Amino acid sequence: MCAAHAAVPGKRRRRNGRTRATATRTAIALSATVISVLLVVILAPWARMRVEAAQFTIGVVMPTNHPAVGGISTQINDVIQVAAVQAASLDSANSYTFLPIDSGFTQARGIAAMYRAMGNGSVAIIGELSSQNSLAIALAANRYKLWQCSGASTSSALSDKANFPYFFRTIQDDPQQGVAMAYFLRSMGWRSVNTLSSSDSYGQSISSSFMTAAAALGIDVVSNQVFSLTATDYTFQLKAIAESGSNIIVYVGVPDNAVTVLRQARTMGLLTPHYAWVGPDALGLYFGSVTPNTAQTAADNALVNGFLYVYPRQNGQNTQYAALQAQYRTAVGASAIVDTVPYGIAFADCATAMVLGIKRIVGVYGAAAVQAGTHSATLNDFLAPFTGASGDVTFDSAGNRQGVFDVMNIWNGATTTVYSIQTNYSVSPVAAPTFLSGMSTVPADRPQQTILYPQWTDAGVQVLAALRVLAIVWFLVSLGYTFVRRHQSVVKNLSFPFLASITVGCVLVLVSEFLVVDVPTRFSCHGAAWIFTMGYELVLASAAVKTFRVYKIFVMVAQTLVFAIWVGVAPRWPELVSTKLYLSYACKQENDTAYLVVLAVSLAYNIGILLTVCFFAYKTRNVMSGFRETSFILYTAQNIFLTGILALLLTLIPFTDFALGAYYVRAVLVFYATVFAHGALVGRVAIALWQQPAIATLTQFPDTGSASKSVLQSVVHSPLGGTLAAAGAGGGTAFPAIKGSTGALTTTPAAESATTVTTGQFPVKQTSKWLAHWVRHTIHLFPNEGILALVPDGTDARGKVGTVLRLSATQYDPEPPGAAGIPAVELFCLGSSWLVQMDHRDTHAAWVARLGVVAKASASSMGRNSASGRKGMSGAGRLRAPSRTGTVAVSGSLVASPSSVMAAMPPSPGSPAKTESSALMGGK
């Protein structure tokens, strides 16, 4: 039993030992399995990378055969192929092929080129040149997860990752470019610009970002013009720019349109030295859009001389750029410069970005997944910052490169970097630019505007002001002198209050002209018209009193009421009128309708007054008066009417480009009309008063017929214009051209006087003419023929013999006011008048009797006779006894007594002897 009991534990020990051995083996096997799994997990990517090293094809979709951009596209493709060699060294595990495919520069052919690239196994695409074509290709490539990079497409639409999740670019997008352009314009001091942009996504994205940035920077876009890509006529847009007032033109469009746009701009004068053109990066392709080897090629190339365009920086000035430049010269030629290829370096960076991106996602998803497009990589997985030939390349979340810009300048076909724009948009000069003028002088954003409103600094304004001051001084001096001599008959007849009203009116008119000089104010907008109209109405109201007795106070009150209404319903204020070339001011109002109504009423009122004066002055022109005031009122009214038409047109019509010229013409017209009115109505009175002495006395004429002759004591002129020496009392030089009066008349029955021809020789002065001279005339009265002839001694150079008056239209004044006390008769006919001086009262009475039978006495003479109670028109009793010494003023000239001078005068040939008892010849 014991032995049996002893065997049982031994068996138990052996079983436990086997169990432990089995557990150990199991643990070892399990550990080996875990280790193997871990090794597989850890080493799988490395093993897969080594096993899945592959060949990747990248399609280069560019319009290499297009007639406009084909040459540039071919150059870009050469740069890409050179860059591919450098980029391949960045991924030694895989190999890359860059396959060129022509895109035709259209959306349809671009999509077809994409499918051809896919058919050749492409996993990515580099291209296209145009944003429009890149949009179409990217939209079609999305479903196939084709990565796409462009070094030229800048449209902001491509930043939409919902539609273009696999697109990125190594060039700054349009919003960055538009902002950079705005900052550049501000750095040039340009605050006023025009924009001319294409309607495609490229043109509108840059234009939109530029205008937003420009507004924030205080740049005024005065004209924003848009054209279609298919347009051929840009006249409408260019005309708006030409009239905008700004010389800076921002062109945002593709080169194909630029050639035609610039041809038409040259025709419209928009390529002159005054202008500056600024464009985006697309202008770098301009020369490729010009048809080569034609008669127009050189002229088209010259169209962009002086142009500036913003361009993404190409030369990174680093080892990558140096390597690219060296390889490019090796492939193309020793003199080749990669910088001269538009967008070339940006596309070279596309090749680098593609190799690095494919390497990244292959390392994560494997080559097969990348080639089959079954990966789930995003753009952020694909892209990483790197240093390219253009410098440091970084991307935002939308795949847009962040970077700096250069401003390029075109001159004679060469392109030069002249400014640099950093990432913070600070602008630094690099070289002196050459503008359209061929010089480096920066043109002004606006042309120097010519000021078209009168300023006190203008010489013409100063001259006119001086003339007005002199005229006002003359007006006031003449008024004061007239006031001193107000008791003279001339002033009494014309009425000093009326003369004063006319003078004050003329002064007010001239004073109103001072208010329209320099920058207008609210007061001058109303005050100039108000003061002018008050002065105008003072002159015309006084004239109207003489013609139709219009009550002056009523006229002024009515006009004042009109102006009060004007100020109340249509107040005016000055407004600056600025055009491209000119700067002026105009008075404006809010209520145009009320202003036009008030203006129409005022014009109608004042024109009515003027026409009334003209009408009645014309009707009374032949009503003879001592100083012919009605005739001169008619002359004044006619003059105001004619000058007023022109002055009114120049005032009411806005001559924007001729505002200053219109001012000078109107100012001269107003000055002339005012001086004329004062001279005709007041000034001539003052001159006449000055020419005659204050106290007039006469040497007594004999009461009976004598042989004495009456001549002028002062200097007189012959009919032929010769000057005769003066003769004093008691001797001196004779007056050969002036004979005395020979007109003694014997008693003639009244019946006979109606048919008898009467002749006499007398000194005659035409008082209707200013500065007229006394000239001896032979006067013939032909009752049967109904005429009166005045024949001067001798004839003038034109062979004029004399003047014939029709008696039916002739009036006479037997006692002219200006010849107070001397025997004289004044003749009036159709607005003209002559003063006839006779030797003694018998002759005077005889001629008055003869004239009384065949002619009418003037209204003024009848008025005087009526006032004095005299009814007859003839007879010696009506003559006042003259003084025995001195002289008397006759219409402004001095008349000597005949006894003092006639003794020294020889008779003229053919004249009657002075010893005849009667030289007045009569005949049937």
Nearest alpha carbon to residue 895 among 716, 664, 639, 708: 716
Quote the CA–CA distance of 553 and 497 in Å, as a whole number. Answer: 13
pLDDT value of position 716: 30
Quote the CA–CA distance of 389 and 345 in Å, as a whole number. Answer: 6
pLDDT value of position 308: 96
pLDDT value of position 27: 66
Residue 209 sits in the same domain as residue 147: no
Average pLDDT over residues 683-699: 63
- pLDDT tens-place string over residues 202-249: 899 899 999 999 999 999 999 999 999 899 999 999 999 998 889 999
pLDDT value of position 169: 95
Give percent above pLDDT 70 in the chain. 74
Residue 296 sits in the same domain as residue 388: no
pLDDT value of position 708: 34
Is residue 826 situated within a structural domain? yes
Contact 755, 769 (CB under 8 A): no
Give percent above pLDDT 90 in the chain. 40
Decide which of 488 and 560 is more confident: 488
Contact 908, 793 (CB under 8 A): yes
Is residue 503 situated within a structural domain? yes
Cα-based distances in Å from 598 to 531, 541, 559, 569: 16, 21, 11, 9
Q: How confident is the model at residue 534 (pLDDT cuts 50, 70, 90)?
A: confident
- pLDDT tens-place string over residues 722-772: 333 333 333 333 333 333 445 444 444 455 556 678 888 888 888 877 667
Q: Which amino acid is at 291?
A: T
Residue 639 sits in the same domain as residue 543: yes
Return the CATH number at 131: 3.40.50.2300
Is residue 35 situated within a structural domain? no
Strands (E) located in 273-376: 276-279, 308-312
Cα-based distances in Å from 268 to 235, 248, 419: 8, 15, 29
Torsion 176-182-185-186 (CA) sign: negative
> Which of residues 839, 857, 875 is at a domain's end?
857
Residue 650 zone, left/alpha/beta (φ > 0; ψ -120 to 50; rest)? alpha
Contact 427, 441 (CB under 8 A): no
Is residue 845 situated within a structural domain? yes
pLDDT value of position 364: 94
- pLDDT tens-place string over residues 699-710: 333 333 333 333
Torsion 268-273-278-281 (CA) sign: positive
Residue 212 sits in the same domain as residue 87: no
Domains held by the chain: number:
4
Return the CATH number at 562: 1.20.1070
pLDDT value of position 34: 61
User: Which DSSP string corresponds to 229-245?
Assistant: TT----HHHHHHHHTSS
> Which of residues 830, 857, 884 is at a domain's end?
857
- pLDDT tens-place string over residues 44-82: 554 444 445 689 999 999 999 998 889 999 999 999 999
Q: What share of the chain is helix, strand, coil (3-state, %, to 5)?
A: 50, 20, 35
Quote the CA–CA distance of 832 and 830 in Å, as a whole number. Answer: 6
User: Which DSSP string corresponds to 480-525?
Assistant: HHHHHTTTSHHHHHH-HHHHHHHHHHHHHHHHHHHTTSSS--HHHH
Residue spans of alpha helices (H) in 515-551: 522-548
pLDDT value of position 41: 53
Q: How confident is the model at residue 798 (pLDDT cuts 50, 70, 90)?
A: low
- DSSP structural state of residue 338: G
Residue 894 confidence (pLDDT) above 80? no
Residue 576 confidence (pLDDT) above 80? no
Residue 362 sits in the same domain as residue 390: yes
Helix axes 201-216, 131-141, angle to 10 degrees: 110
Is residue 43 situated within a structural domain? no
Quote the CA–CA distance of 917 and 756 in Å, as a whole number. Answer: 19
* Domain, as residue range, for 782: 758-857
Helix axes 496-514, 659-678, angle to 10 degrees: 170
Q: How confident is the model at residue 382 (pLDDT cuts 50, 70, 90)?
A: very high
> Which of residues 822, 857, 892 is at a domain's end?
857
Q: How confident is the model at residue 39 (pLDDT cuts 50, 70, 90)?
A: low
Average pLDDT over residues 841-863: 83
pLDDT value of position 706: 36
Residue 8 confidence (pLDDT) above 50? no
3-state SS, 90-140, equals: CCCCCEEEEEEEECCCCHHHHHHHHHHHHHCCEEEEECCCCHHHHHHHHHH
- pLDDT tens-place string over residues 104-161: 999 999 999 999 999 999 999 999 999 999 999 999 999 999 999 999 998 889 999 9
At CA 885, angle to CA 884 and CA 890, rounded to 5? Answer: 100
As a whole number of Å, the end-to-end CA separation of the chain is: 217
Of the candidate ranges 159-173, 452-466, 650-664, the one whose mean pLDDT is the lowest = 650-664
Residue 671 sits in the same domain as residue 612: yes
Contact 467, 672 (CB under 8 A): no
pLDDT value of position 239: 94
Residue 417 sits in the same domain as residue 328: no
Q: How confident is the model at residue 14 (pLDDT cuts 50, 70, 90)?
A: low
